[in-house]
């Protein structure tokens, strides 16, 4: 039985989550007992990223840590906060003392998370905080993680960037105003292979879909002076 502090890990299915989880497990400072993901219940997809739930299930199975899915129905901020509070209180009752996030430098987002955790007397952990994002993405690639863009913010990047593998060429070709890790919400990813997975996640790349910005997000939304009209999504299909 582990004597390490029990932690809940906030899992998005993307590259930063994968890199962060690998770092946490390698450093052996916490006993990660759950991976928590926000899922749009109507569409059965990961909130914001748009990745199908069955691919999330494949990731969870390959990683080998139990999942907690926070199912968003109405999509309101109030619903999100209520569901998160209920989830955090439940895991706290099971002995969880810490919640781990893969955020890198968004101060407002960190403050928001820490304020919510304070309400239920839990501590936030940010293993990637203030890391250089160029060095981080280079190390991510060097560690042989494999990931593909599944969502692109059209305020930063064009349609051609969605459905791309992230490798050295991808990073080198990014416009100068785009963060190498997409930390400002420029792009989101689905990670399908790497040292945190026992086996690769298999999928095919489906159609590209454009969605205008006409609704409130129920997951992390990055604030930016860049004008966003909508998002390009690449449908990834489990095989």
153: β partners: 231
Distance between CA atoms of residues 173 and 99, nearest Å: 35
Residue 227: DSSP 8-state: P
Mean pLDDT by 10 residues, the chain (239 residues): 94 98 98 98 93 98 98 92 97 98 96 96 98 98 98 95 98 96 96 98 97 58 66 96
Residue among 178, 164, 191 at smallest CA distance from 19: 191
What pLDDT, on a 0 to 100 scale, did the predictor assign at position 141?
A: 98
Strand intervals (E) in 43-102: 45-46, 67-72, 96-100
The pLDDT score that the predictor gives to residue 214 is 58
Phi, psi of 123 (to 5 degrees): -110, 135
Q: What pLDDT, on the 0 to 100 scale, is given for residue 216?
A: 44
Q: Are 188 and 182 in contact (CB under 8 A)?
A: yes
3-state secondary structure of 61: helix
CA distance 33 to 28: 13
By three-state DSSP, how is residue 125 classified?
strand
Q: Give CA torsion, residues 52, 58, 64, 66, to 10 deg.
A: 40
pTM of the model as a whole = 0.93
């Amino acid at each position: 039985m582990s004597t390490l502090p029990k932690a809940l890990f906030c899992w998005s299915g993307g590259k930063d989550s994968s890199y962060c989880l690998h770092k946490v497990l390698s450093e052996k400072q916490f006993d990660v007992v759950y991976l928590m993901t926000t899922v749009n219940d109507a569409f059965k997809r990961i909130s914001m990223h748009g990745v199908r739930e069955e691919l999330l299930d494949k990731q969870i199975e390959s990683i080998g840590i139990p999942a907690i899915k926070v199912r968003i129905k109405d999509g309101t901020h109030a619903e999100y906060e209520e569901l998160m509070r209920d989830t955090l209180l439940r895991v706290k009752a099971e002995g969880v003392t810490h919640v781990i996030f893969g955020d890198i430098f968004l101060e407002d987002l960190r403050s928001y998370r820490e304020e919510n955790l304070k309400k239920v007397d839990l501590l936030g952990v940010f293993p990637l905080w203030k890391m250089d994002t160029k060095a981080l993405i280079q190390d991510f690639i060097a560690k042989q993680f494999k990931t593909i863009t599944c969502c692109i913010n059209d305020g930063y990047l064009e349609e051609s960037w969605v459905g791309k593998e992230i490798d050295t060429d991808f990073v080198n070709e990014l416009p100068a105003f785009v963060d190498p890790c997409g930390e400002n919400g420029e792009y989101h990813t689905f990670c399908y292979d790497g040292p945190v997975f026992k086996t690769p996640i298999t999928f095919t790349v489906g159609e590209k879909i454009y969605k205008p910005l006409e609704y409130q997000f129920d997951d992390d939304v990055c604030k930016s002076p860049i004008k966003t009209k909508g998002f390009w999504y690449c449908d990834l299909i489990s095989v």
